[in-house]
Amino acid sequence: STQSTWGHMIVESENKVNAGDEPYYGSYLERPSDASRFIVQKNLKDLVKLALFDINEFTHSNSVKLEGFKRLKYIILLAEDRVKEHLDSILRTLYKFLRYEDQQISKEVEGVANLLGRFVDASLYVPTILKHLDEEDSKSSVNRLANIFTILADLVRFEKSQSLYDHLEQIISILNIDSYLREKTEILVALFKVCQSLILNCGEGIFRFTPQLFSHLLEVESSQNVPEETKLALRGIMRELARINGLPDEVSLYISRLGSFLEGLI
């Protein structure tokens, strides 16, 4: 429920405050009042439209764009699951600004994706992302494709695991893109992030997809161009996948899976 979503976020916010980090949820340490949520939800269309205009208008300075993202974050916090009506336009904006020159803006993109994952069900964002992947702009641009997968990873990471289970097969199938695209480092890193989010969020619930996930992770590990920080994170994810399979470490996972993986290549 939305209330339980807030419960988890409040705990995380308090932990971040205690650690000295700014929480995604700003000053909110409890769910906003019914009155404030009613006002925002009543005017949601206009509020989202204005925020996206400030972000996307090419004549606007980075400071205006940054404020637009911060405002959008608070709009989502108050709109909660009602924001699903504007999912398409918000996701397109996130793809566009994920790797923006201003790092503060890129950070806000992640914050917006975080909140969308918490309030919007996978049954809505998975079909929307599939539609976006099928568009010509996505097929012709490595950066856009990588950005879509990265945003998908953020959504999956913060989705409620129970609502993900019915969509795991569809999400795993999204990762099976053409081999020539998989040679691109940006794509490999983004695909790793999706696998990472699935494993961390779903835990034992991802067990039946171990062969597919192991195959993707092994491909990332074998690349010479993947950043060292990604490979370091990958080792941790391999250990977690081993644990999910009841194995003591990643070496045992390699031994268990590599035979099957090689058979599939023959």
Name the DSSP letter for residue 229.
H
Cα–Cα–Cα angle for 103, 109, 111, nearest 5°?
A: 110
End-to-end CA distance of the chain: 47
In the chain, the percentage of residues whose pLDDT exceeds 90 is 74
Q: What confidence score (pLDDT) does residue 161 get?
A: 81
Residue 23 CA to residue 182 CA, distance in Å, equals 34
Q: What confidence score (pLDDT) does residue 6 get?
A: 53
pLDDT tens-digit series, residues 56-111: 999 999 999 999 999 999 999 999 999 999 999 999 999 999 999 999 999 999 99
- Three-state DSSP state, 88: helix
Low-confidence ranges of the chain (pLDDT < 70): 1-29, 259-266
